[in-house]
């Protein structure tokens, strides 16, 4: 019987990951598929792994060819495909369990030519994070749309987050060019040729990245790589030459933002003998982009463009080194530190004469914008403490500057007393940018169910700027704790509109008040906002719900969750973490519905059975989550004790611990071993703080804000398998932990669910 879906999986040298990739395909909720595995001349044991998998699952079959590149390998797989629909997966990535099902069913309903979904980036060190490239195109459901109607689809440059109608693919005869970056010309042409396409916000694909982190600024110079990128970009430019203006301009702007930036960054590592080739390739691409698009780019980009046109390779190299180091973190800054306050001008970074106009270095008034961040959120003696930073970019925040912060509730504002202190500003200097506001119960009582925000107004010299407080960092700003301000009102901080930091008052919320754990079940005690409550467990990723039986006493209720039932119903949403997430909703007799708020203390409740972990905990917004997952080594406490950093946790007694630092642009790493102790309560991992501070006194990066080191806590099993230690949500809400050692500052903080120490 002909399968409805054909999945083409080209692979080359991915033996460490291919088994997991194929397993994620085999576990698909959509079972009516064939998987065509294409061995593109792999030099490792990838083909052996593929053959073994094909022997176990008849839906998988293998074809082999001499190495020709990912594009020709995909074409070979397509020729063997028989399904009504067509999908692509790279051999080191993962697909979500319900991704193909969601995309195929969407196409069955709409008749569109293809459908695409959201993607996630992942690795062992930093966990799972959204893919920023896919965030805009797949922010919400759009049925039967088109790139001319929704131009953000030009950002959708990959093949693997989609399902194509095979008849559409065959009609237009798509083939891949034999180069790297082969996806974009085909993906964009399909968008232009399609009558309609569908988008869904569900994460359908998990895109692996190297453990050290991967970005365009970390890629070492490879002339062949650069040449292929320019060839791919040229093909894309040709495709939109006669397209509608909005699409053409959007493509040119995207290439300027991503591809040209990559070429400019390559000047930071280009060997001297390849400098001219890189100049020629860069000029080839920049020369094909619209001048009005280039003129609208960041001013630092325009400096680089001008240096390229003038052939000033020395300036291009130093501009790239500065940018690759993260030197634009605080806005457009020159290679040398910009003059601030009085002159408002960049130091001229070129040596000798250059054709770069000096006007490009001069700061304009519109460059002096307000920058704010939230650094810590904590409750102190019944008051909410919010610490952050505020500064006007490129102006030194001196003692004569003035800062005002007010809580904005609807059209009303409530001025707050501001305590200011020295903290690192955007230039890496310790200046008067730090602030703290304390909100007492009277002010908090003015909040409503709608988000209340913080208005920030700053004056420095003759300039005044205002805006909303935003920029929540990792730790308590990302997992802010809520609290009762009286018997019936709960204040929950968190992100609001446009990412602004906000407060919401929840009056008599449906809430979890206590949790008991027995050998066989979790017992939940709660209180509803209404009579005759009903409790439901639902899955936010894939939908579906089930009712949970309740014992009711007025508005108080008790629910019993058998551990075995949770395990039997496990069906993970996340192919990397293999975790199933459920949320609780309370409904009333008049169709009321509330999400269940966590008010049951400051620790999660977990149970281990049959090698799996069931955890009742809180979400980033403070609501109750139920997770089922493999057993993960989890940290629940981090403290500084003299010269020791002590991390405590549970579910990891048979492992060794070390703080690991990955080297730039590499999966090579350095480890600082920890001393491990085990008690009845769990484990403790201790490390010397001084061992986490790099010995060299010379900062490698020219960016004063760049961390000297970023360490990740790893646990290693007896067979040598290493995994990053998870950071329990309630620990996230208590971090960051700030530590000072001599001239160095260390910060313990979570990143995407794993525990890190940043050293500056």
Give the tens place of pLDDT for each residue, 655-696. Answer: 999 999 988 767 788 999 999 999 888 999 999 999 999 865
CA distance 280 to 722: 44
CA distance 87 to 74: 10
Kindly report the average pLDDT of the chain as a whole number: 90
119 CB-side CA count, 13 A? 25
Give the pLDDT of residue 652. Answer: 64
Pair of tokens at residue 57: 């699952």
User: Which of 525, 526, 514, 625 is CA-nearest to residue 566?
Assistant: 625
Q: Is the pLDDT of residue 329 over 80?
A: no
Q: How far is CA 326 from CA 82, 190, 210, 335, 524, in A?
A: 48, 35, 19, 11, 47
| Residue found by looking up tokens 């205002």 in the block | 466
Q: What is the pLDDT of residues 518-543, one digit of tens each?
A: 999 999 999 999 999 999 999 877 77
What average pLDDT does the segment 300-328 reach? Answer: 84
Question: Residue 46: enclosing H or E segment and its boundaries?
Answer: helix 46-56
Q: Is the pLDDT of residue 219 over 60?
A: no
Give the pLDDT of residue 697. Answer: 40
Beta bridge partners of 615: 606, 627
CA distance 517 to 642: 36
CB 197 within 8 Å of CB 148: no
CA distance 256 to 304: 12
Residue 271 sits at the vertex; the CA angle it makes with 265 and 276, to the nearest 5 degrees, is: 80
Q: Measure CA 252 to chain center.
A: 25
CB 513 within 8 Å of CB 600: yes
Query: What is the set of domains in the chain, with CATH numbers?
Result: 5-208 (3.90.550.10), 223-367 (no CATH), 370-495 (2.60.40), 511-630 (2.60.40), 634-759 (2.60.40)
Neighbours of 369 (CB within 10 A): 13
Which segments of 642-708 are extended strands (E)?
644-650, 656-662, 669-673, 675-679, 682-688
Pair of tokens at residue 501: 């930091």
Which percentage of the chain shows pLDDT scores above 70? Answer: 91
Is the four-CA dihedral 268, 272, 274, 277 of positive or negative sign? positive
Phi, psi of 204 (to 5 degrees): -105, -10
What average pLDDT does the segment 4-20 reach? Answer: 96
CA distance 509 to 526: 10
Q: Is 196 exposed, middle or buried (0-12, 13-18, 19+ CB in 10 A)?
A: middle
405 pLDDT band (50/70/90 cuts)?
very high
Phi, psi of 340 (to 5 degrees): -130, 175
CB within 8 Å of 688: residues ≥ 6 apart: 643, 644, 645, 672
Q: Which residue has the higher pLDDT, 223 or 325?
A: 223
Beta bridge partners of 639: 646
């Amino acid at each position: 019987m002909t399968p409805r879906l054909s999945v083409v999986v080209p692979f080359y040298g991915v033996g460490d990951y291919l088994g997991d990739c194929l397993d994620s395909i085999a576990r698909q909720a959509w079972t009516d598929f064939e998987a065509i595995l294409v061995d593109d001349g792999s030099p490792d044991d990838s083909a052996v792994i593929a053959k073994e998998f094909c022997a176990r699952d008849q839906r998988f079959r293998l074809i082999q060819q001499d190495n020709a590149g990912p594009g020709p390998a995909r074409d070979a797989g397509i020729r063997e495909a028989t399904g009504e629909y067509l999908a692509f997966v790279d051999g080191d990535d993962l697909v979500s369990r319900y991704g193909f099902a969601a995309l195929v069913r969407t196409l069955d309903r709409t008749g569109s030519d293809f459908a695409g979904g959201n993607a996630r980036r992942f690795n062992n060190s930093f966990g799972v994070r959204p893919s920023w490239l896919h965030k805009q195109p797949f922010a919400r459901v759009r049925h039967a749309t088109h790139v001319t109607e929704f131009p953000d689809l030009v950002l959708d440059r990959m093949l693997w987050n989609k399902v194509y109608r095979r008849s559409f693919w065959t009609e237009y005869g798509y083939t891949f060019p034999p180069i790297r970056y082969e996806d974009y010309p085909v993906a964009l042409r399909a968008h232009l040729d399609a009558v309609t396409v569908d988008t869904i916000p569900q994460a359908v694909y998990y895109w692996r990245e190297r453990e050290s982190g991967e970005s365009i600024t970390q890629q070492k110079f490879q002339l062949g790589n650069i040449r292929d990128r320019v060839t791919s970009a040229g093909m894309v430019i040709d495709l939109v030459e006669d397209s509608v203006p909005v699409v053409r301009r959007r493509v040119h702007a995207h290439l300027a933002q991503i591809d040209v930036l990559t070429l400019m960054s390559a000047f930071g590592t280009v060997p001297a003998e390849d400098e001219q080739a890189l100049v020629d390739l860069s000029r080839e691409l920049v020369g094909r982009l619209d001048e009005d698009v280039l003129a609208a780019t960041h001013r630092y980009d325009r400096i680089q463009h001008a240096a390229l046109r003038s052939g000033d390779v020395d300036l291009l190299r130093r501009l790239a080194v500065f940018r690759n180091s993260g030197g634009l973190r605080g806005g457009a800054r020159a290679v040398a530190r910009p003059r601030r306050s009085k002159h408002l001008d960049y130091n001229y970074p070129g040596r000798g004469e250059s054709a770069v106009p000096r006007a490009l270095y001069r700061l304009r008034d519109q460059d002096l914008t307000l920058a704010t961040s939230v650094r810590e959120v904590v409750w102190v003696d019944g008051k909410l403490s919010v610490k952050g930073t505020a500064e006007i970019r490129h102006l030194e925040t001196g003692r004569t500057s003035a800062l005002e912060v007010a809580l904005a509730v609807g059209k009303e504002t409530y001025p707050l007393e501001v305590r200011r202190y020295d903290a690192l500003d955007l230039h890496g200097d310790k200046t008067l940018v730090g602030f703290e506001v304390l909100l007492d119960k009277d002010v908090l009582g003015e909040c409503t169910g709608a988000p209340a925000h913080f208005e920030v107004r700053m004056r420095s010299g003759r300039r005044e700027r205002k805006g909303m407080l935003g920029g929540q960092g990792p730790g308590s700003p990302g997992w802010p704790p809520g609290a009762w301000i009286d018997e019936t009102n709960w204040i929950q901080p968190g992100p609001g509109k446009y990412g602004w930091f906000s407060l919401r008052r929840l009056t008599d919320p449906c809430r979890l008040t206590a949790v008991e754990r027995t050998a066989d079940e979790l017992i939940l005690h709660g209180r509803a906002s209404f009579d005759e409550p009903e409790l439901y467990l639902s899955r936010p990723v894939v939908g579906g719900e089930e009712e949970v039986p309740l014992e009711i006493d007025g508005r108080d209720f008790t629910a019993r969750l058998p551990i075995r039932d949770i395990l039997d119903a496990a069906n993970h949403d996340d192919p990397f973490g293999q975790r199933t997430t459920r949320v609780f909703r309370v409904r009333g007799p008049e169709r009321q519905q509330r999400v269940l708020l966590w008010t049951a203390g400051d620790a999660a409740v977990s149970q281990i059975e049959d090698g799996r972990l069931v955890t009742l905990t809180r979400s980033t917004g403070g609501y109750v989550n139920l997770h089922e997952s493999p057993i993960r080594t989890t940290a629940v406490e981090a403290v500084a004790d003299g010269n020791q950093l002590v991390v405590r946790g549970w579910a990891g007694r048979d492992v060794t611990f070390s703080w690991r630092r990955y080297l730039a642009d590499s999966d090579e790493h350095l480890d600082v071993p920890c001393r491990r102790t085990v008690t009845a309560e769990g484990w403790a991992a201790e490390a010397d703080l001084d061992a986490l501070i790099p010995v060299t006194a010379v900062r490698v990066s020219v960016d004063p804000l760049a961390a000297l080191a970023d360490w990740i806590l790893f646990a290693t099993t007896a067979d040598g398998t290493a995994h990053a230690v998870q950071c329990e949500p309630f620990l996230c809400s208590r971090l960051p932990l700030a530590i000072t050692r001599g001239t160095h500052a260390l910060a313990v903080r979570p990143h995407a669910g794993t525990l890190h120490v940043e050293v500056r």
